[in-house]
Structure 1
Amino acid sequence: MHLIIAISLILLIFTQSSRADNQPIRVGVDAWVPFRFVTDSEVTGIDHDLWTELSPRIGAQVRYIRCPWKRCLEMMRSGQIDAMSGLAWRASRAEYITYTKPDYFMCSTHFYIRKNEEHRLATAQDLKQLNIGMVRGSAYYSAFDNDSTLNKTQMAQESVLLQLLSAQRIDTYIGTDCQADYELARSPWSDSFIKASFNPGNHLPLYIGLSNRSPWSKQADRISQAIQEIMNGEFPEKIRQKYYQ
């Protein structure tokens, strides 16, 4: 009897482990250049390059699921997708997401404003007088994220924020420099917008996260080890040369 129980437990553990191994990993994506260039036909960018490196190491094909950022997070909570990349760590997200280690990119948070208006945002207190554009569901830094008194205009994507600032429908927008600088430099407003004088001074590491409802969450240690191997190799320098030179 004890032998039968032991064999049953071994088979159960093997089944749960292989259930993830035999399935593609469903990754939620939205457009966030240069990390994710998303079209109807393909996904490219830094995150795609990372998943391309990671896929053979974890023995799984990557299936991209297109969804707005906030919707992607809701799908992580329900287990409709297995993973997301480009995630900042937040305690509220960690309730339903297992974060892998290490981070694969380091960003900083900044506010962007029309040129010659940077004096309007010199301190954190100035934020209370402004209409601030942001991406719905994004995490920037705790003091901002948790301040319900600020006037925040929430949109689905960063690209819309530049248009709103140009049309003077918002006074400033918040973004992470690793993405916002890239997008601004390639936009029609590269000479019209600058970073505000006020700088939150925070660092924002980006992670791959796994839905706690996904069988892939049980593979978090193995995936973390694979990410560490990638980051110890030539990947960081290749990304710098490909996207930031």
Structure 2
Amino acid sequence: MWSRLRRSINGHLWLLGLWLLCASDVQARQALFAAMYDAPPFIMARSTVTSESDAEGIDWELLQELASRSGIDIYPLRYPLGRALKDVGSGKMDIITGLTLQMANQYQLGHLEQPYYQCHVRFYATAALAPKIHRYQDLSGKIIGHVRGADYFHTFDQDRSLRKSAVNHLHQLPGKLLRQYNQLIIAQDCQMDYLLAKLGLQQRIQPTRYDPGIPVSLYVGYSRQTLSASTVSRLNQALRDMLAEGWLQQVADSYIHPLSSPVTPALP
């Protein structure tokens, strides 16, 4: 009798220990939610209904690899940029990709130590108008399409004399330009060049002669309210390794090579 009771107790203790081990593993595995706005080739809607997700792109793959290397589950959700910034700032979402330092300062967001990509701000117009835009003053009087919530460069962002027309998604801008709702587009070249190439519009919509010469470094941003220092440290280490190994460059090249160049990884 006592031996059967002892075996029964030992069996239950073994099951309790196994349950506690599994429970601690589940508890240790964090889950973060990432707000990602449409910005080809960083985030793009998939055209197939058989895919595992409804999006693809550089940022999509970046977050999957960050999750794998850091041991932190990351669930990306597609958002309009303006709402994404607000929700990460308020702590409703945890992470955002494609963050600039201006956005981080405006919405009081944290960001990982190193940028993962670099673009440049450019203006675009129809092939007939693009050669006539030589300087900043030539923007006056033109309706300029831009993505709501995006920052481009200080002079433009603060200039209230310019006529600006906001949209929620980048892919809306070429159509509005061709339908003459706008005369100009302002965008990051690595995004707009890719989009125009995919749409076959490189001959109809072109960069203007005026080039602000503004580089834009892109960061993975995060909510200061929801991410702990240890979580940020794990993500930072994962990103450093990815940059040092050239992993991000290979992914970027597979999407947009040779339209733009990735950030050179910082030396250890």
Equivalent AA in structure 2 for residue 59 of structure 1: G
Following superposition, the deviation at residue 225 of structure 1 comes to 2.0
Q: Deviations over 1:117-154 (max 9, x none)?
A: 12432101111221100000001111111212211000
Deviates more, 1:146-155 or 1:18-27: 18-27
Q: How many residues align?
A: 228
Q: What is the distance in 1 between the residues matched to 2:252 and 2:144?
A: 30
Describe the shift of the 1:20–1:215 C-alpha distance in structure 2 as closer, same or farther (beyond 3 A). Answer: farther
Equivalent AA in structure 1 for residue 35 of structure 2: G
1:180 aligned residue: 192
Runs of 5+ consecutive residues of structure 2 not aligned to the other structure = 1-24, 258-268
Runs of 5+ consecutive residues of structure 1 not aligned to the other structure = 1-17
Equivalent AA in structure 1 for residue 235 of structure 2: I
Equivalent AA in structure 1 for residue 143 of structure 2: N
1:100 aligns with 2:112: yes
SS, match of residue 229 in structure 1: helix
1:29 aligns with 2:29: no
Q: What is the distance in 2 between the residues matched to 1:235 and 1:206?
A: 16
Equivalent AA in structure 2 for residue 34 of structure 1: P
Equivalent AA in structure 1 for residue 44 of structure 2: F
8 Å Cα contact 1:34/1:179 also seen in 2: yes
Q: Which 4+ residue blocks in structure 1 deviate beyond 6 angstroms? A: none
Describe the shift of the 1:87–1:217 C-alpha distance in structure 2 as closer, same or farther (beyond 3 A). Answer: farther
Following superposition, the deviation at residue 77 of structure 1 comes to 1.4
- Which of residues 125, 129, 134 in structure 1 aligns to 2:146? 134
Deviates more, 1:42-51 or 1:211-220: 211-220
Q: What is the distance in 1 between the residues matched to 2:254 and 2:103?
A: 33
1:148 aligned residue: 160
- Which of residues 45, 54, 65 in structure 2 aligns to 1:38? 45
Describe the shift of the 1:20–1:195 C-alpha distance in structure 2 as closer, same or farther (beyond 3 A). Answer: farther
1:161 aligns with 2:200: no
Q: What is the distance in 1 between the residues matched to 2:143 and 2:27?
A: 45
Which one has the largest radius of gyration? 2
Q: Output the TM-score relative to the length of structure 1.
A: 0.86
Describe the shift of the 1:190–1:216 C-alpha distance in structure 2 as closer, same or farther (beyond 3 A). Answer: farther
Answer 1 or 2: higher relative contact order, Cα 8 Å, separation at least 6: 1
Q: What is the distance in 1 between the residues matched to 2:185 and 2:256?
A: 22
CA RMSD for the aligned pairs? 2.1
Q: What is the distance in 2 between the residues matched to 1:99 and 1:107?
A: 17
2:6 aligned residue: none
8 Å Cα contact 2:66/2:239 also seen in 1: yes
1:14 aligned residue: none
Q: What is the distance in 1 between the residues matched to 2:105 and 2:27?
A: 22
SS, match of residue 42 in structure 2: coil
Q: What is the distance in 2 between the residues matched to 1:75 and 1:190?
A: 35
Describe the shift of the 1:20–1:113 C-alpha distance in structure 2 as closer, same or farther (beyond 3 A). Answer: farther
